[in-house]
Amino acid sequence: MKKIFITVAFIGIWTLGLKAQLPVYLDENQQIENRIEDALSRMTLDEKIAVIHAQSKFSSPGVKRLGFPDLWTDDGPHGVRPDVLWDEWEQAGQTNDSCVAFPALTCLAASWNPEMSALYGESLAEEALYRNKNVMLGPGVNIYRTPLCGRNFEYMGEDPFLASQMVVPYVKGLQSKGVASCVKHYALNNDEEYRHQVNVIVSERALHEIYLPAFKAAVTEGGAWSIMGAYNLYKNQHNCHNDIMLNKILKQDWQFDGVVVSDWGGCHDTEEAIKNGLDLEFGSWTDGLTMGATNAYDQYYLALAYKKLIKEGKYTTKELDEKVRRVLRLFFRTTMNRNRPMGFLCSESHYEAALKIATEGIVLLKNDNNILPISNGKRILVVGENAIKMMTVGGGSSSLKVQKEILPLDGIRTRFDKSTVEYARGYVGDTVQSYNGVTVGRSLYESRSESQLTQEAVDKARVADVVIFIGGLNKSDYQDCEGHDRKQYGLPYNQDKLIEALAAANPNIVVVNISGNSVAMPWINKVPSVVQAWYLGSESGEAIASVLSGDVNPSGKLPFTWYSDLNQCGAHFTGSYPGVWRPAHDIIDEEYKEDIFVGYRFTDKNKLKPLFPFGHGLSYTTFEISEPKADKNIMTENDKINISVTIKNTGKVSGSEVLQLYISDLQSSVIRPVKELKGFQKVYLTPGETREITFSIDKSALSFYDDKTHSWTAEKGKFSAFIGLSAGEIGKAVKFELK
């Protein structure tokens, strides 16, 4: 623990006319706590009330009289959002608030590389510091429960272990620079439609096994300094002031010492906010919920209404002081942190980081006949609107104002001989290239009909050596966008029909799907190669071209199960999504009937074969894995068992592979998934290189949440461990027993 050297003068002790000085060592945290109590004792009631609610769209006041500057938040998690006017969503018109757009968090999760998470957090923090942002509103770790959720692109997939392992380095990296992470949206915000009204009904076991682990890891391992409450309800109580979620689980069980921030407009009741753990209230409109109030921020639930209840004697300042302590602690960690480094914006290192993360996250889903990589000299036809559409703008609060965004078509033309690359629009989707006053990109206006566009693309495809179709979703409403869910699983804008026509005209076709969600692929057997490219940020075109050309060997793995159709997804198979209205209360009850069986847990249980399994991703090289070996076959409760395999690159190019460890409980007293991810490691190997990889398993990897004892339990009995390349490609089992 870091120590602070303090020089203390003792009154009344004099030596040769000089004050005696004695060295005293104080723990840094204790010194901060002492300063918090000192500041708290000096603050007036009005100052205390002021610091627990917003004063503008994205800031809350400090305490000027005591030297505390204002606290500035900013939307993430993929970049630092441009500044808006004090009270409005419109742009502030600044010229120094462009940024580097980092890949969406689905791409980060698809890298299966915690080192990329640390790099991401550190790079984002440096951009935030330059812009004087103290709290970045991210990352998001809500679970991918349905592929229709409009905000899945901001999250880290379906598996709680993967999300936990990826969120911790992000939080640590961000906060290592003195910028607070505000992990969101705590919790159960797993679909966007009617998000303010959804009351989630979920078992305690599913809550703790599936939906909370990433948040818990962010707090207990990552040391997150703030958490954002979710819009939805749990047990009929909004999550921004939910007694169980905030007081019991977050603050009592996990010992969270940071600030609970409301989602913008997520607070609904003063007394619940006082009692149930909300510390800092922000709002989307001028009074938190609606527009146009005078003395806007004084009308917040934790403003004059709270002060009035204290003045009337209904509440003492006990709850208020605890909220203020937490806010002051956040001040000392951010705005009052003298050790924060200087920030810098749009640096070469940030673009390099964005490119590295993007290329590590791109997933090669299919590559029959080794269509990829594409060699130089080929006549290439690029088709599709997503090849020329900027994806950093739109999608809701994560929309950015970038210094640059390399479009896929431009990246391909730069990488290959420009004279050999042709383009055909193919389809028209959303021609809007603006959001909240940020207008960018080339014009997407198109006057030709669908049949004309299709005919042009097909004619050009017939004479090309290879066709690259770049389509998928975009960040428009009802696609990958905050506030609404997708209305269908299939691709929009008749893309399926176009892909079929292109495949009939030229069998050498590569489909590059840009999205944050899986989509239906009825044409999958007619297309030899499919690449999942995500929303890749500023270096999008460069990253895609690098993978298509083979300059980068793809190593991404799916962070979610890619279903053939929605009936393979538990939320849809059980009919629990999107829930049932309670008209009298204007509430939707959404019961998570699939319980703990989310994603591959559901397909495993029901013996379903998805289009692509969780953890799937191909490479331009091949790997060989030995049978796993354990150092023992009996494990005691406080012991560990080590399981090792050797992996060899048997191909001709260097590349990375992700070894994935899954555990099965063979003798459980409760129903458990067929297998669960409990470890992974990304390994880079040159051709012919062999390496031994060891996974250590302890009791936590064998445990389930017992809702009878309200605790994690590992039962004695037999277990199997598998090491494979995806949830659908696992090797032989190693069996062992827990005594």
Least confident piece of the model among 144-158, 390-404, 530-544, 547-561 = 390-404
Least confident piece of the model among 378-382, 384-388, 584-588 = 584-588
Does 14 have pLDDT greater than 60? no
Per-residue pLDDT, 19: 37
Can you count the helices (H) and strands (E) in the chain?
17, 33
Binned at pLDDT 50, 70 and 90, residue 286 comes out as low
Pairing of strands 641-649, 690-697: antiparallel
Binned at pLDDT 50, 70 and 90, residue 434 comes out as confident
Phi/psi for 625 (5° steps) reads -115, 135
Judge contact between 222 and 114, C-beta under 8 A.
no
Angstrom CA distances, 323 to 170, 181, 353, stand at 26, 18, 37
Euclidean distance between CA atoms 604 and 727, whole angstroms: 9
Per-residue pLDDT, 433: 82
Per-residue pLDDT, 637: 87
Which helix (H) or strand (E) covers residue 181, if one does?
strand 180-186
pLDDT digits (tens, 9 = 90+) for 179-211: 999 999 999 999 999 999 999 999 999 999 999
Mean pLDDT over each residue of the chain, to the nearest integer: 94
Whether this model's pTM surpasses 0.85: yes
Cβ neighbour number for residue 644 with a 10 Å cutoff: 15
pLDDT digits (tens, 9 = 90+) for 308-330: 999 999 999 999 999 999 999 99
Does 8 have pLDDT greater than 80? no
Does 430 have pLDDT greater than 60? yes
Does 461 have pLDDT greater than 90? yes
pLDDT digits (tens, 9 = 90+) for 655-665: 999 999 999 99
| Residue, of 304 and 286, whose pLDDT is higher | 304
DSSP 63: B
Euclidean distance between CA atoms 644 and 629, whole angstroms: 5
Least confident piece of the model among 86-95, 407-416, 676-685 = 86-95
Judge contact between 501 and 453, C-beta under 8 A.
no
Per-residue pLDDT, 432: 83
Per-residue pLDDT, 27: 83
3-state SS string for 590-609: EECCCCCCCCHHHHHHCCCC
Rounded mean pLDDT of 48-69? 96
DSSP 87: S
Q: In terms of CATH architecture, what is 348-561?
A: 3-Layer(aba) Sandwich (3.40)
Euclidean distance between CA atoms 434 and 394, whole angstroms: 7
Per-residue pLDDT, 293: 64
Rounded mean pLDDT of 425-445? 87
Active site residues: 263
Does 17 have pLDDT greater than 80? no
60: helix, coil or strand?
strand
Per-residue pLDDT, 10: 32
Judge contact between 98 and 399, C-beta under 8 A.
no
Binned at pLDDT 50, 70 and 90, residue 295 comes out as confident
Least confident piece of the model among 411-415, 417-421, 460-464, 641-645 = 417-421
Q: Where are the domains of the chain?
A: 1-41, 348-561, 621-739
Looking at the chain, the whole-number percentage of residues with pLDDT higher than 90 is 89
Binned at pLDDT 50, 70 and 90, residue 437 comes out as confident
pLDDT digits (tens, 9 = 90+) for 110-151: 999 999 999 999 999 999 999 999 999 999 999 999 999 999
Judge contact between 298 and 292, C-beta under 8 A.
no
623: helix, coil or strand?
strand
pLDDT digits (tens, 9 = 90+) for 213-262: 999 999 999 999 999 999 999 999 999 999 999 999 999 999 999 999 99
What is the separation of C-alpha 566 from the centre of its chain, rounded to a whole number of angstroms? Answer: 23
Does 294 have pLDDT greater than 90? no
Q: 68: which 2 tokens?
A: 């505390």
Per-residue pLDDT, 74: 97
Per-residue pLDDT, 292: 60
Per-residue pLDDT, 474: 96
Cis (ω within 30 of 0) for the bond into 77? yes
Q: Which CATH class is domain 621-739?
A: mainly beta
Does 302 have pLDDT greater than 50? yes
Does 439 have pLDDT greater than 90? no
Rounded mean pLDDT of 269-288? 88
Does 356 have pLDDT greater than 50? yes
Residue type, position 279, single letter: D
Does 22 have pLDDT greater than 90? no
Euclidean distance between CA atoms 66 and 475, whole angstroms: 44
Per-residue pLDDT, 566: 98
Residue the block writes with tokens 């300059």: 551
